[in-house]
Amino acid sequence: MWRMPDVPPTLPWLIRIPEIFGEVVPDVVRQLASPCCTKLGHEYYLIRPADSGALRQVAASMFIRWNMPVQHSWPCRPRAMDGFVEKAAQTMARKFASAQPQMVLIGVLDASSTDTYYRKLASNLRGRALQLFPAAALPPPEVEAQDPGAATLFCLLGHEGLFCGLQSPRLANGFYPGGTRFFSQNTPDTISRAGAKVAEALHYLCLHRSPPPPPAHWLELGASPGGMTSELLARGYRVTAVDRAALHPRLAAAPGLTYACGDAAAFRPPAGTRYDAILSDMNGPASDSLAAVLRLSKYLVPGGLVIFTLKTAGVSGNAEVERLCAAVTARAASGGLQRLAQTHLTYNRHEFTLLFEKLGGAHSKPRSDTSSSSQPR
């Protein structure tokens, strides 16, 4: 099986820190002991972690949305260059084709830009690169069909040039360059923007394990007005939705839905009920939400999934946020919920998404990566 060669710790690293956390960038760079930090595009930073300890910080930081080692960079002005696509594709093939990445994916450094030039250039470059890579690098039909533990050639492109590196989607923390997959928050059926948040969480989950197959039964805590509920129902799941507030009237007679009006702290499932997954999007103190999840996790099947939105309203400073997350993780672990991952999703605001699994299931040990980047996540 192909293994990524050990990456020297002094290699530059491309990290993405969401704009919403702009103020923590100096702290994060300090933690990584990086002597330099160059901003690229919209939310990307080119850093040089001091050593493997600093690289582990990249893995651990809640504020780093996505990352990759930069094994090839071409700082240039692509727009002003003749033959950029051909030269770039030839170099990518020369440097990376023998590694047989499972996929070649090219994104843009400024996804917020309304100028479509670099998007088109990225698409042209990918088309040409794929002609030069061996058949093994031809893309599977879906980006999500990637093996999360195998190396992909990720490339980011912008007016600053081209940056490429081999990284597994799991270590990069996303299947796409930069980690974001677009989910519409505004379809005619949208009840709340939280629908896109749970869609993105289920997409992200595939980096670590498969979602429960429909018609799995979800217990949803803090469901009103029902954006997440409607997304789960649309995927063929059954949902027991608990909230002190009412659900949107459109959900009144939704097949597969049971609504329990009241406080999650007092909710008692009917005798004999077992849930396949719990979803908590309750606002209020994280300790209260977690207490409800832990109490109700005894109704979860072994290996059952928990998607927990960690709300950070009223928590100031990145150190305090990190302490809160560590405390939640430790308390969940002592209650039999092992954390699979934590991240900040595109549709999260001042909150994080934590994934847990109830011990005792087939998935309980996270799969090990087939790549061996020096950065364990």
- Are 293 and 278 within 8 A, CB to CB? yes
The residue among 68 and 290 lying less far from ligand SAM, judged by its C-beta, is 290
The residue among 3 and 244 lying less far from ligand SAM, judged by its C-beta, is 244
| Cβ at position 218, least distance to ligand SAM in Å | 12
| Cβ at position 2, least distance to ligand SAM in Å | 41
Residue type for position 187: T
Which stretch of DSSP H or E encloses residue 37? strand 37-40
The residue among 244 and 250 lying less far from ligand SAM, judged by its C-beta, is 244
Between the CA of residue 205 and those of 60, 118, 263, 268, what are the distances in Å?
17, 29, 28, 28
| Cβ at position 305, least distance to ligand SAM in Å | 16
Provide the residue count of the chain. Answer: 377
| Cβ at position 176, least distance to ligand SAM in Å | 24
| Cβ at position 224, least distance to ligand SAM in Å | 4
The residue among 68 and 191 lying less far from ligand SAM, judged by its C-beta, is 191
Residue among 14, 5, 6, 9 at smallest CA distance from 68:
14
Whole-angstrom Cα distance, residue 24 to residue 47?
A: 15
Which stretch of DSSP H or E encloses residue 288? helix 286-296
Residue among 376, 369, 374 at smallest CA distance from 152:
369
Whole-angstrom Cα distance, residue 295 to residue 37?
A: 44
| Cβ at position 195, least distance to ligand SAM in Å | 6
Which stretch of DSSP H or E encloses residue 169? helix 169-172
φ, ψ at 122 (rounded to 5°): -60, -40
Instruction: Report the residue number whose CB is nearest to ligand SAM.
Output: 222
Cα angle 47, 375, 209 (rounded to 5 degrees) comes to: 125
The residue among 245 and 333 lying less far from ligand SAM, judged by its C-beta, is 245
The residue among 283 and 287 lying less far from ligand SAM, judged by its C-beta, is 283
| Cβ at position 340, least distance to ligand SAM in Å | 20
Side-chain-facing half-sphere of 191: CA atoms under 13 Å: 22
- Are 54 and 29 within 8 A, CB to CB? no
Interface ranges with ligand SAM (CB under 6 A): 192, 194, 222-228, 242-245, 263-265, 281-284
The residue among 30 and 350 lying less far from ligand SAM, judged by its C-beta, is 350
How far the first Cα of the chain sits from its last, in Å, is 20
The residue among 245 and 319 lying less far from ligand SAM, judged by its C-beta, is 245
Between the CA of residue 115 and those of 106, 110, 118, what are the distances in Å?
17, 9, 7
| Cβ at position 276, least distance to ligand SAM in Å | 18
| Cβ at position 171, least distance to ligand SAM in Å | 30
The residue among 291 and 341 lying less far from ligand SAM, judged by its C-beta, is 291
Between the CA of residue 64 and those of 12, 34, 287, what are the distances in Å?
15, 14, 24
CA 17 to chain centre: 12
